[in-house]
Structure 1
């Protein structure tokens, strides 16, 4: 696991000069959040939240955080809401992505894309360590899914740096206002 910690530190260290963190963040009660979710969370995600807090990267990707006063940006509240929404979609006949057809697999959202409605999830497989989870992106207004074998910080770094392999972020410069391109705006700065 030390190698995993070094990788996440490396991605966060590369992200912070491109997209400077706010300086102060809320304290997160990690044990309570993990208990509410019924799973441990990736160390990478915890370090990202401890560095930035919740908020929006490059004017487009919202990082959810536990204990956020606004349920729209709260990891635990959004997990419950997304579970319900996805269950309704699948009950109505929308096809599940093949990655979650196997038993015991669940999705936990960690971010979403402003305006488009895309959600970023961890693919949580039984027996898999949080650092082994795959990121899956669900198209906000359609049935398409994309898988990325990356951590949160690596995914965000790739988007901010303009090196993402995601179809949805290939043209980031066309999607984002130039003044927002390398900015992180914490949730605490938005009116509740």
Structure 2
């Protein structure tokens, strides 16, 4: 098991029983293999809300706003609209073959992406955070589970968008299924 996922499980136990996902189908729909730590995280937790702040997206989520595939379809169009409207596009996204893949959203409208680059394995993807109500992007050279662990639990990652983290214990995860 990925060490960051194991640390999250120890500190924030999943609220529901583990479930499996048809990753081959999901990856086919997205057109890419996904990072193994994300798949472990979602198989163990499902989609849901960490510490009332970060919603991890899940394939086949009954709530379309937290469905991995649906959210990514919507985000591509939304990003194009931002850039056509004059918002600066990060230079890293101008590289041939690079793309963003949303894996989480926040209660403030921020979106957490992977920066998927041509020639990089999914385990090497960078985490990007796009400010929901502004033009800022943050780049974090770490996996999604390491980002969650460091933002929620240790404070090892500095972020303007998550400036008030980590929060005091107890930490909490609530499954998306509990919000239906």
Task: Please classify the TM superposition score into its range, dividing by the shorter chain length.
Answer: over 0.9
**Which residue pairs with 2:94 in the alignment?**
101
What is the alpha-carbon root mean square deviation over aligned residues?
A: 1.5
Deviation per CA, 1:108-157, whole angstroms, max 9, x where unpaired? 0000111x111000001111100010000000011100000111111111
Bigger CA drift: 22-31 or 99-108?
22-31
**Which residue pairs with 1:131 in the alignment?**
123
TM-score relative to the length of structure 1: 0.88
Structure 1 position 55 matched with structure 2 position 17? no
Pick from 73, 85, 92: which aligns with 2:85? 92
**Which residue pairs with 2:179 in the alignment?**
190
Stretches (4+) displaced over 4 A: none
Other structure's SS at 2:42 match:
helix
Structure 1 position 140 matched with structure 2 position 118? no
Aligned equivalents of 2:60, 2:21: Cα separation in 1: 6
Other structure's SS at 2:37 match:
helix
Offset at residue 171 of structure 1 (A):
1.5
**Which residue pairs with 2:165 in the alignment?**
172
Other structure's SS at 1:84 match:
helix
Aligned equivalents of 1:80, 1:52: Cα separation in 2: 23
Other structure's SS at 2:34 match:
coil
Unaligned runs of 5+ in 2: none
Unaligned runs of 5+ in 1: 1-5
Aligned equivalents of 1:69, 1:84: Cα separation in 2: 22
Tell me if structure 1 keeps the 8 A contact 2:62–2:177.
no
